[in-house]
A and B are shown apart, each in its own frame.
Chain A
Amino acid sequence: MNCRDIEKHLSAFIDNALDDEIRPRVEEHIASCTECAEKLSALQSVSNALGDLPIIKAPSDFMENLHKRIKPESFLKKLFRTLFVPFRIKIPIEFATAAMVGVLVFFVTTTQQDVKQLPVSSMEKRAFEVNEPLTQMKDTPVVRKEEERQNAVMPSTVPSPAKAEGSEPFELALVIMPKVTGRLQTQPVEMEYTSDLKKEPAAEEKQKISESPLTGLSVSEKTMSRSTADTYREGRTEDEAGEDQDKANSYYTPSAPEPGGIMIQVKSLIEQINGRIVTVKDNKDSGHSLNAEIPADKYDNFLNQLKPIADFKTPPPDVSIKDMETIRINIRIVDPG
């Protein structure tokens, strides 16, 4: 070992902290090297000087001042530390928790909406959107008793009987569509029957038309075919016959009846059974629907009168609850098919 190596070990040599292997070498070198011995002495002086420095004791009021600082700080600092410290850990965790709660709330709310909408067909959903008093509809609306309604997972389409027994009228919904038949439109058809032989059947058909419970103007497609065939027999030109055919087609071919057309008849029916029409929506944009209140005892009668002019999209609810005076009925008229 040279002096430079020895110098590195002098400090540890003073503290008697050298390994047994190195210590004898350092001792041997110091004994023969005056320069290293002087360095050792100087380092020893430094160490001794630091060790001889006076101990600076805490002032007598140290504890008192400490108590003053601890008491006011303890609560707020502890609260702050509990909530936020250490920042690097707690703040990201708090943000993550808040985000998870947000996502959870979002999923819960959206899932519940999905569950509500699940059993409602698209058509009925439209009816639901229009009919504000009715909150939900099902494929087969039935009046449920209170226990069934409470036990049901899905909300019932019909309000509870308890509600019906109270001041609020009983509510139900009907979705109907006009019957698909060939029919006359508002303009009367002027037809000339030149064949005397065929005048009688034509008169019979007119009689049938006048007896029709629907509009009094309906004729069957089969009947019209026969009438137009007669025109050919009378030697009319093909062009004239073709014009008549087109004319006939335009008035008599089977077509989807307009929902608005049946509205007048429904209104009339309601008035016949002493019902009261509350609201009517009758345009293409918002749909065709009608809110009305009818006497409860006339409900079956109303349905019977409605059957000839319209098909029920869904079977009408069977109202069997007694002690009911009025039924609030929402009728939505939809296109057939």
Chain B
Amino acid sequence: MKETVLSNADSSEDHDLIRSFCAGEKAAFDKLVNRHKDRIYNLCYWFLGDFQEADDMAQDIFIKAFGSLDKFRFESAFSTWIYRIAVNTCKNRIKSMEYRYKKWMDRLDAGPENGNPVNIVIENNVNSPQEALEKKEQTATIRKAINSLPPDKKTVAVLRDIEGLSYEEIEKITGLNSGTVKSKLSRARMDLKKKLKGVLK
């Protein structure tokens, strides 16, 4: 599992950048974006299952952060704050009629099994093209399985297993208590286990 939780030193550096930004140094915002854009983009992709959607949402998230960074109260890590914006933005996007219509049209165009062709570079150790192809197919299947989860289950599954955040961090981001996070994550994994039966070794 990836460990992407920022250390205290990283968090402190984020806070310094925010103070610089609030003091008028606009370049500090670019540094903040560069530090967090990949995590946010990754979250958006696995949450929405679409590159274009992920691109739009990630930009929306940073634009929202840009507009309200002067209201940041330094009570939490910037990463927690930006993840909270990201989760809420993605959930709202999933609920939107535009997103639902787009997904419906994609399904009609692509057919039931095709889905979104994922141009993901498999960086894991693969020994042959055959293995790379299998890995790619498996990744597409997992993406579809994640995409089929309800938003609440998807949120905790993505934050915990894909983003590698701690339970405590997830509680701060989602506002759920510890027991709820555990039970939602347990149910999300159970659902995925059923959906991925035969795919995972």
Contacts and interface: CB of A to CB of B under 8 A. Distances in A.
Interface string B32-63: 01100110111001100001001100110011
Interface in A235-260: none
B162 A42 contact: no
B161 interface: yes
A65 B38 CA distance: 15
A188 interface: no
A7 to B, nearest CB: 8
B63 A73 contact: yes
Nearest to B186: A11
Q: Give the interface size bracket for A toward B.
A: 20 to 34
B201 to A, nearest CB: 7
Interface in A25-63: 42-43, 45-59, 62-63
Interface in B136-171: 138-139, 142-143, 146, 157-158, 160-162, 164, 167
A81 interface: yes
Given A17-B167, A66-B33, A81-B67, A43 B193 contact: yes
Given A17-B167, A46-B193, A53 B62 contact: no
B142 A54 contact: no
A62 B37 contact: yes
B125 to A, nearest CB: 11
A73 B201 CA distance: 49
A49 B37 contact: no
Among B34, B38, B185, B186, residue most surrounded by chain A Cβ atoms (within 10 Å):
B186
Contacts of A59: 55
B52 to A, nearest CB: 11
B160 A15 contact: yes
Contacts of A47: 1, 161, 189
B193 A42 contact: yes
A56 B46 CA distance: 9
Contacts of B201: 45
Contact of A51 (B1, B30, B38): B1
Interface residues of B, number: 49
A12 B41 contact: no
Given A55-B2, A62-B55, A66-B59, A8 B183 contact: yes
A63 B42 contact: no
Interface string B181-194: 01101100110110
B46 A69 contact: no
A8 B1 contact: no
B124 interface: yes
Contacts of B108: none
Contacts of A48: 1
B133 interface: no
Given A45-B201, A51-B162, A53-B46, A58 B58 contact: yes
B23 interface: no
Contact of A53 (B40, B162, B185): B162
B182 A53 contact: no
A126 interface: no
B97 interface: no
Contact of A56 (B54, B157, B192): B54
Interface in A283-307: none
A56 B58 contact: no
B133 to A, nearest CB: 15
Contacts of B38: 55, 57-58
B30 A63 contact: yes
A66 B200 contact: no
Contact of A43 (B51, B121, B183, B190): B190
A198 interface: no
Contacts of A51: 1-2, 161-162, 164
A63 B34 CA distance: 8
